[in-house]
Structure 1
Amino acid sequence: MALMQTLVAPEWVDYNGHMNDAEYARVFSLAVEALMDHIGLDAAGREHHGYTIYTLETHLCYRREAHEGQPLDIEFHLIDSDAKRLHVLFEMRDAEGQVLATSEQMLMGIDVASGRPTPFPADIAGAVGELPPATADIIESAGRRIGIRR
C-alpha cells in the first residue's frame, strides 16, 4: 500500500554525497506517523482516544543510495497484528520503483494516561483490520537477523 511520498532534503545529505543513514530512520519514523494518521490516530484521534503507538523494535536495511532532491515513495506492508501490536515492513522506493531501504518494525498501542500497552480502541482496531495483508514474499523477507555468514 502506498503510504507517503517525500523528497531527500539537502540537510539529509552527508559528506559521502548521499542521504545519511540516520535520515533513512527519520523517513521511516515519518512513515509510522503517516500510518497512524491512516488508521485514525492523527492528532485529533490520539487526543480523543488518549492513545498512541510506540515503536518497540526496528530493523533497517540499506539497499541503494538516495540523493538530494530525489523523490521517495514509502510503501507499507502489514505482516501481522494482534489486539495491540502491529508487525510491519516499510519499503522506501525511488521513482523507478527500486527498493532503496526497508524498515521492519514492531509497533505497540499505548494508553497515554497509564503509559501501558492496551488493545486498540474499537474504531482503530477496525481500521487496522482493513489494512491489506503483506504478500507471501514480503512475509518471507521479514525476520532477518544480523550476522557474519561463515
Structure 2
Amino acid sequence: MVILESRVASAWVDYNGHMNDAEYARVFSLAVEALMEHIGLDTPGRAHFGYTIYTLETHLCYRREAHEGQPLSVALTLLDRDTKRLHVFFKLHDEAGNLLATSEQMLMGIDSNTGRPAPFPAPIEDAIAALPQAEPSVWPELANRTIAIRR
C-alpha cells in the first residue's frame, strides 16, 4: 500500500549530489504522518480523540541514491500490533520501482492529555485492522535486521 508520494526537494540534496541521509529519515517521518492521517489521526482526529502517535524506534537501511526532483513513493506494511503499538515497515521506491531505502519503526499510541501510552481509540483500531499486514512467515527480507560487524 503506497502511503506517501513525494519528490526529492533541492534542499534535501547534499555535497555528494544526492539526497542527504537525514532526508531519508524526513521522508519516512512524513510517511508516519500520512499513516496517521490514513487511520483518522489527522489534525481534527487528534483533537477529537485527544490522541497521537510517537515514534519509539527506527531502523533505516539505505539501498540506492535519490537525486533532486526524483519522484518518490513510500509503501507501508504492518508487521505487528497490539493495543498501543504499531510495528511498521516502510519501503521507499523511485519512479522505476527501485528500492531506495527501508525504515522499520515501532510507533506508540499516546493519550495527548496525559502524555502517556494508551490503547488506540476504537475507530482508530478499526482503521489499523484494515492496513496491509505481513504474514509472520513472509516478513520483508530487510525487516528485523541488526547492526553488527559480521565476523
TM-score, scaled relative to structure 1 = 0.97
Aligned ranges for residues 1-150 of structure 1 at < 5 Å? 1-135=1-135, 136-150=137-151
- Give 1:96 deviation, angstroms: 1.0
Taking every aligned residue pair, what percent have the same amino acid on both sides? 67
- 2:16 and 2:141 map into 1 onto residues whose CA distance is 33
- 2:121 and 2:66 map into 1 onto residues whose CA distance is 38
- Give 1:122 deviation, angstroms: 0.4
- 2:17 and 2:105 map into 1 onto residues whose CA distance is 28
- 2:88 and 2:102 map into 1 onto residues whose CA distance is 10
Structure 1 unaligned regions, length at least 5: none
Cα shift readout 1:82-138 (whole Å, capped 9, x = no counterpart): 101000000000111111000000000000010000000000001001111125443
- Give 1:141 deviation, angstroms: 3.2
Q: After the TM superposition, which segments of 4 or more aligned residues of structure 1 sit over 3 Å from their partners?
A: 135-141
2:111 maps to a residue whose letter is: D
TM-score, scaled relative to structure 2 = 0.96
Contact map agreement 2:102 2:142 (CA 8 A) in 1: no
Structure 2 unaligned regions, length at least 5: none
CA RMSD of aligned residues (A): 1.0
1:149 maps to a residue whose letter is: R
- Give 1:24 deviation, angstroms: 0.3
- Give 1:143 deviation, angstroms: 1.1
- 1:15 and 1:139 map into 2 onto residues whose CA distance is 32
2:51 maps to a residue whose letter is: Y
Count of residues paired in the alignment: 150
- Give 1:142 deviation, angstroms: 1.4
